[in-house]
Amino acid sequence: MLKRITFKYTFLFLMLLYGAIAAYSQHSGVVSQYMFNGLVLNPAYAGSQSTLAVNINYRNQWTGFEGAPKAQIASVHSPLKDQPISIGGIVSHEEAGLSSDIRVSAVGSYKLKLETGELQFGIGAGLGIISSRWQDALIDNIDDPLFQQNTVGLVRPLFSTGVYYQDRNWYAGYSLPSILSYDYSGGEEIRTTFSVGGMEHMLTAGYVYKINRRVVIKPSMLIRVQPSSVMTFDLNTNVVFKKKIWTGISYRHSDALVALLEYQIHHQLRLGYSYDYTLNAIGNYSAGSHEIALMWAFRKKSFARNPRYF
């Protein structure tokens, strides 16, 4: 059993449990700018930009909260020339409390061209590596054997699948971001299981409505159905001005209000920022969450006249 721990580090330990449950299990992490990088949610998104696309995200969650989650995500994907096949990859690093998780995955998709749009099927496979810095825990009993050594290099397989449809005005996607279920509570092993009832399900959708030549409105949503948990959702609306400036607001069910701002620096480069105002009890101890995103899409200059909004 754990020895007596001060209140401050009890709070830190709760953060460690959050990391064990949210970041290192089958559940995917939170990304506020999901509508601009669908690959982090759905492998079928690979190649949907019809060009080489690179995304980098940095998220600092619950600023000012000791041991709060931090995440860095990089993704790249591209269609193969004159082929209906696209390939890509995702690398992510997440930290929460005393634990960290590194994930590396390769993704691939197959595109069917329909009369009204494009339908893509995708799969992903990779590895995740979990480590815990137990020796960094500050406790009253420094001789507690539970905290005498670090847990390093616990490896687990990663598999995902999904389907994605888009045309010029709307998109929709369904995915299983983690086909296998994991149970990691900070020990020396991870329990891996295959269970249909243990899978997380994701549904995304968005629509583009052109007010006039200068203003475009893009509502979108993300629904998450997680095992042994209530369904959660994000509702978002973005307004695009002159194909350059993107402003938006999101509501994450029982969690946060999100303000978004993006700027099209160049026809190939976009910079984004989002701020989460926390609505739950954690908001009493933090100054919100920050997320920065860089998006490169190596398109020709004609993109500036006819941009892709998703």
Residue 28's pLDDT is 62
* Domains annotated on the chain, with CATH: 7-304 (2.40.160.40)
CA atoms within 13 A on the CB side of 215: 6
The secondary structure of residue 18, as a DSSP letter, is: H
Residue 185 in tokens: 């509570």
Judge residue 293's burial from the number of C-beta atoms within 10 Å of its C-beta, 0-12 exposed, 13-18 middle, 19 or more buried.
Answer: buried
pTM given for the model: 0.84
SS3 273: strand
Residue 10's pLDDT is 41
Nearest-angstrom CA–CA distance, 75 and 70: 17
Residue 45's pLDDT is 97
Q: How many helices (H) and strands (E) does the chain have?
A: 1, 17
Please list the pLDDT of the chain residue by residue as tens digits (310 residues). 444 444 344 444 444 444 444 434 445 667 899 888 899 999 999 999 999 999 999 999 988 877 789 999 999 999 999 999 999 999 999 998 778 899 999 999 999 999 999 999 999 999 999 887 666 555 555 555 555 555 666 888 999 999 999 998 999 999 999 888 776 655 566 665 655 557 889 999 999 999 999 999 999 999 999 876 778 999 999 999 998 999 999 999 989 999 999 999 988 999 999 999 999 888 888 889 999 999 999 877 555 444 667 7
The number of beta carbons lying within 10 Å of the beta carbon of residue 92 is 22
Residue 223's pLDDT is 96
Q: What are phi and psi of 68, to 5 degrees?
A: -65, 155
Residue 6's pLDDT is 42
The number of beta carbons lying within 10 Å of the beta carbon of residue 186 is 18
Q: What share of the chain is helix, strand, coil (3-state, %, to 5)?
A: 15, 50, 35
* 17-54 confidence digits (pLDDT tens): 444 444 344 456 678 998 888 999 999 999 999 999 99
Q: What are phi and psi of 10, to 5 degrees?
A: -65, -40
The number of beta carbons lying within 10 Å of the beta carbon of residue 264 is 19
